[in-house]
């Protein structure tokens, strides 16, 4: 079993076991169960709103760079047909604009600085990348027979790949490799091709690309420069029984100095690991999952304490602070505006 460092285990246990007081000052977007459905809520400057009420499951996606709109992935089963749609919902709750769908699978939406969105969908193929301005028809960016997945851009505009608008992503073939394509359409090319699995890319503000790569049969973290050079391993869990959870991806802190991921130990317990970059030195190991960051660089994560499942913020010093009532999860930081921590 992959145990927490004693100091961190005590820090989290002291904060959570006693049921910490709910902090309602933190700007936050999250999903929460309501009467059998899953809806999205937002709290901005202490004012809380329920953003979605449609029957089905609504998952909180990333918040726009201007901090005004959240992407919501809506999932519903109608007449035994599974459908997914993507919406752009303003945090004031006044407007809901369709972005994409409905389709069977719609995943991994990401904002571009110009207010458009890139995402993956099976609308016209097994899976490809699309770009859409909310409320307008989408543009298809890739056409791969084996599928393209997991688009990643930086807050600076996706500078990876040597172009200011490049979208890094995964395309399948003999092995999953990293590719790049301009967000406005254009030449689709390999950014990194090597033997082994390369998945879940994430782009830092300076264009540094981190991703999960197979190394000796295990997934670890690799990194490289924006132009695809200098690819090297950064971190692999020292516990052979611990497995990285690729579905939860990699998450850069706003300043690009830290990288969060999720691993599951031999007993199935999920834990957030935070690496200092570029060294890859382990900075934090704590129970929880679904990490994200506040605008000020504090770690957000989902955790279940004695009171129930909730979104927490890790303060240093001070321990974990509960940000949602029991039932809240999948917390998303708001880039600008409101109470920042």
| Predicted confidence (pLDDT) per residue in 220-270, tens digit | 999 999 889 999 999 999 998 999 999 999 999 999 999 999 999 989 999
| 42 within 8 A of 91, measured Cβ to Cβ | yes
Q: Is the pLDDT assigned to residue 21 strictly greater than 80?
A: no
**Which of the residue ranges 8-17, 66-75, 230-239, 278-287 would you say has the lowest mean pLDDT?**
8-17
Phi, psi of 7 (to 5 degrees): -60, -40
User: Does residue 57 have a pLDDT over 60?
Assistant: yes
Task: List the structure tokens of 89.
Answer: 């919902």
State residue 81's pLDDT score: 76
Predicted confidence band of residue 91 (pLDDT cuts 50, 70, 90) = very high
DSSP-assigned letters across all residues of 147-167 = -EEEEE--TTT--GGGSTTEE
Query: At residue 319, does pLDDT exceed 90?
Result: no
pLDDT at 155 (0 to 100):
63
Reported confidence tier of residue 19, pLDDT bands at 50, 70, 90 = low
Spatial separation of the C-alpha atoms in residues 72 and 302, rounded to whole Å: 18
Average pLDDT over residues 296-318: 91
The pLDDT score that the predictor gives to residue 283 is 95
Residue 160: phi and psi, rounded to 5, are -65, 150
- Which of 185-189, 200-204, 251-255, 296-300 is least confident? 185-189
pLDDT of residue 177: 95
158 pLDDT band (50/70/90 cuts)?
very low
What is the per-residue burial (b if ≥16 Cβ within 10 Å, else e) of 271-294?
A: bbbbbebeebeeebbbbbbbbbbb
What separation in angstroms does the CA of 151 have from each of 114, 203, 219, 326? 16, 10, 19, 32
| Cβ contact 284:277 at 8 Å | no
Among 296, 292, 293, residue whose Cα is nearest residue 341: 296
Task: Decide if pLDDT at 52 tops 90.
Answer: yes
pLDDT of residue 124: 93
Whole-number pLDDT of residue 156: 58
Residue 156 CA: distances (Å) to CA of 163, 205, 223, 254? 11, 6, 18, 11
Give the CA angle between residues 99, 105, 106 to the nearest 5°: 30
Average pLDDT of span 288-308: 95
- Please return the burial class of 8, using the count of CB atoms within 10 Å of its CB with bins 0-12, 13-18 and 19+: middle
Statement: residue 333 has pLDDT above 50: yes
Please determine, for residue 89, whether its predicted confidence score (pLDDT) is greater than 80.
yes
Q: What is the mean pLDDT of residues 311-335?
A: 91
The whole-number pLDDT of residue 113 equals 86
How confident is the prediction for the chain on average, in pLDDT? 88
At residue 192, the pLDDT reads: 92
Report the pLDDT value the prediction gives residue 78, as an integer from 0 to 100: 63
Q: Are 328 and 30 in contact (CB under 8 A)?
A: yes
Instruction: Write the Ramachandran bin of 157: left for phi over 0, alpha for psi from -120 to 50, otherwise beta.
Output: left
Reply yes or no on whether the pLDDT at 310 is more than 90.
Answer: yes
Q: Sign of dihedral through CA atoms 142, 146, 150, 154?
A: negative
Average pLDDT on 64-69 reads 94
| pLDDT higher than 90, residue 107 | yes
In contact, 205 and 256? CB cutoff 8 Å = yes
Q: Are strands 177-182 and 281-287 parallel, antiparallel or unpaired?
A: unpaired
Pair type for strands 117-121 and 128-132? antiparallel
| pLDDT over threshold 60, residue 39 | yes
Structure tokens at 113: 């600085």
pLDDT category at 329 given cuts 50, 70, 90 is: very high
Q: How far apart are CA 226 and CA 162, in angstroms?
A: 6
Sequence-distant (6+) residues with CB within 8 A of 213 are: 196, 197, 198, 199, 219, 220, 221, 222, 233
- Token duo for residue 44: 């901005």
Question: Two tokens at 55?
Answer: 């029957």
pTM: 0.89
Decide which of 173 and 131 is more confident: 131
Mode of pairing for the β-strands spanning 128-132 and 281-287:
unpaired
């Amino acid at each position: 079993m992959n145990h927490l460092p004693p100091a961190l285990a005590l820090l989290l246990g002291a904060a959570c076991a006693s049921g910490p007081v709910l902090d309602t000052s933190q700007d936050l977007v999250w999903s929460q169960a309501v009467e059998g459905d899953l809806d999205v809520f937002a709290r901005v400057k202490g004012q809380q709103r329920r953003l979605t009420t449609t029957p089905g499951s609504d998952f909180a996606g990333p918040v726009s760079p201007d901090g005004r709109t959240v992407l919501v992935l809506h999932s519903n089963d109608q007449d035994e047909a599974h459908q997914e749609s993507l919406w752009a919902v303003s945090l004031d709750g006044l407007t809901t604009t369709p972005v994409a769908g409905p389709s069977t699978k719609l995943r991994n939406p990401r904002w571009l600085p110009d207010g458009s969105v890139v995402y993956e969908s099976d609308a016209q193929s097994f899976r490809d990348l699309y770009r859409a301005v909310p409320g307008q028809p989408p543009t298809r960016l890739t056409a791969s027979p084996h599928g393209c997945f997991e688009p990643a851009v930086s807050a600076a505009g996706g500078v990876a790949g040597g172009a200011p608008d490049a979208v890094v992503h995964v395309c399948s073939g003999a092995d999953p490799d990293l590719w790049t394509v301009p967000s406005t359409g254009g030449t689709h090319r390999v950014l990194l091709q090597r033997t082994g699995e390369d998945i879940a890319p994430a782009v830092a503000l300076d264009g540094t690309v981190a991703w999960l790569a197979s190394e000796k049969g295990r997934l670890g973290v690799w990194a490289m420069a924006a132009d695809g050079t200098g690819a090297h391993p950064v971190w692999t869990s020292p516990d052979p029984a611990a497995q990285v959870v690729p579905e939860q991806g990699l998450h850069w802190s706003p300043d690009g100095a830290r990288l969060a991921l999720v691993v599951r130990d031999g007993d199935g317990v999920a834990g957030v690991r935070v690496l200092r970059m570029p060294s890859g030195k382990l900075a934090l190991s704590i129970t929880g999952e679904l990490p994200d960051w506040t605008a000020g660089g504090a770690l957000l994560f989902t955790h279940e304490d004695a009171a129930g499942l909730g979104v927490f913020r890790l303060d240093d010093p001070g321990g974990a602070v509960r940000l949602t009532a029991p039932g809240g999860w999948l917390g998303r930081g708001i880039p600008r505006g409101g109470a920042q921590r």
